[in-house]
């Protein structure tokens, strides 16, 4: 049987990727000691590894495709193809220093800079003109200052952890989200390319569904044209006549952030029996 070899990151983005697969209709059961989850799709073979290693492993062909943060793609400088930006687990890669430190003082001396990101760190510091010694960390980078480092380069989602360790952001280096990536060799294989595109379509359908809800309503005949004109649907609303020709039943998919203002407006225009419910997938 043909199989697509996938690699999924352990750590902070593991749960969001597993939920993405589940919402797409692909079930996985994880054994933490084995790191090879059971997958309901027999055409997929999955392994769980550190996100830092994933770009390089896909480039050399150990795996056909996988998921990791954009930060690790840039850090590794791996020659891989970005299939899609999943926009999951957004973080910023930042330089941070102790709250009571003056950056001008750091610029006048040789500083210790701690980070898991060696390439990103050195590129940033060289561009900024710092005299520095790089210190590689293996997690918990935020605990190094002030005794063991003058500055850190780290990822942050909200900045809360930095504040808890009395650190302030000096500069934002880049933004990062989870990406679906593939090897160039895999995309040259017709079957593997089709399978990757199939997954991309399913993932996009799930992500689109998360942004939209379905609204159903009954609309009187005399209000129909006025109401339909304001509906922000994907293409056109679904319309069916009500029993007894008393009006129309209207269905429309709208973005979640539009609903809070749209429903009161529809009600004022005469729509009744308005229902809102969520999708599982939206294939556009």
197 within some domain:
no
* Cβ neighbourhood burial of 164 (10 Å; 0-12, 13-18, 19+): exposed
Domain boundary among 176, 199, 226: 176
Domain count, the chain: 3
Whole-number Å distance between alpha carbons of 32 and 30: 6
Q: Express each pLDDT in 54-72 by its tens digit.
A: 999 999 999 999 999 999 9
Same domain, 61 and 171: no
Distances (CA, A) of 35 to 6, 10, 22, 68, 243: 12, 9, 18, 16, 56
- Residue 7's φ and ψ, nearest 5 degrees, are -130, 130
Average pLDDT over residues 127-133: 94
Same domain, 11 and 73: yes
Model confidence at 282: pLDDT above 80: no
Same domain, 79 and 184: yes
- Band the pLDDT of 253: cuts 50, 70, 90: confident
| DSSP line for 17-36 | HHHHHHHTT--EE--TTT--
Same domain, 261 and 120: no
Q: What is the CATH number of the domain that holds 273?
A: 3.30.70.120
Same domain, 182 and 62: yes
Average pLDDT over residues 37-45: 93
Q: Which of 36-40, 232-236, 238-242 has the lowest mean pLDDT?
A: 232-236
Same domain, 29 and 158: no
Q: Express each pLDDT in 94-118 by its tens digit.
A: 999 999 999 998 999 999 999 999 9
Average pLDDT over residues 211-224: 90
Model confidence at 33: pLDDT above 80: no
Model confidence at 183: pLDDT above 80: yes
Three-state SS at 234: coil
Q: What is the CATH number of the domain that holds 12?
A: 3.40.190.10
Q: What angle do CA 21, 64, 67 make, to 5 degrees?
A: 45
**Alpha helices, DSSP H only, in the chain?**
14-23, 54-59, 70-76, 103-106, 118-128, 160-164, 184-188, 190-211, 224-228, 256-269
Distances (CA, A) of 6 to 1, 67, 222: 15, 8, 55
Same domain, 51 and 109: no
pLDDT at position 284 is 66
Q: In sequence order, which residues have a C-beta less than 8 Å from that of residue 185 and are 6 or more positions away?
A: 61, 64
Q: What angle do CA 74, 79, 82 make, to 5 degrees?
A: 75
Same domain, 24 and 150: no
pLDDT at position 245 is 79
pLDDT at position 56 is 96
Same domain, 134 and 182: no
Distances (CA, A) of 124 to 95, 119, 156, 171: 9, 9, 17, 10
269 within some domain:
yes
């Amino acid at each position: 049987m043909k199989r697509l070899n996938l690699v999924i990151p352990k750590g902070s983005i593991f749960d969001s990727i597993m939920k993405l697969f589940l919402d797409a209709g692909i079930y996985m059961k994880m054994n933490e000691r084995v790191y090879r989850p059971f997958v309901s799709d027999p055409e997929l073979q999955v392994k769980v590894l550190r996100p830092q290693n994933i770009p390089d492993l896909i480039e050399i062909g150990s795996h056909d495709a996988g998921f990791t943060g954009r930060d690790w793609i840039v850090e590794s400088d791996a020659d891989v193809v970005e299939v899609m930006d999943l926009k999951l687990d957004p973080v910023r890669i930042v330089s941070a220093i102790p709250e009571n430190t003056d950056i001008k003082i750091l610029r006048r001396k040789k500083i210790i800079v701690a980070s898991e990101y060696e390439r990103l760190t050195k590129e940033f510091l060289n561009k900024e003109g710092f005299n520095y010694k790089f210190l590689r960390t293996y997690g918990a980078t935020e605990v190094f200052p002030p005794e063991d480092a003058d500055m850190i380069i780290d990822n942050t989602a909200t900045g809360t952890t930095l504040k808890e360790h009395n650190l302030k952001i000096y500069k934002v280096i880049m933004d990062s989200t989870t990406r679906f990536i593939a090897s160039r060799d895999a995309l040259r294989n017709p079957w593997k390319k089709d399978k990757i595109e199939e997954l991309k379509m399913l993932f996009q359908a799930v992500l689109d569904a998360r942004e939209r809800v379905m609204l159903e309503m009954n609309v009187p005949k005399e209000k129909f044209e006025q109401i339909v004109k304001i509906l922000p649907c994907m293409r056109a609303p679904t319309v069916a006549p009500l029993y007894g020709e008393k009006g129309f039943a209207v269905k429309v998919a709208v973005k979640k952030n539009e609903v809070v203002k749209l429903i009161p407006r529809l009600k004022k225009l005469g729509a009744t029996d308005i229902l809102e419910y969520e999708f599982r997938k939206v294939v556009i």
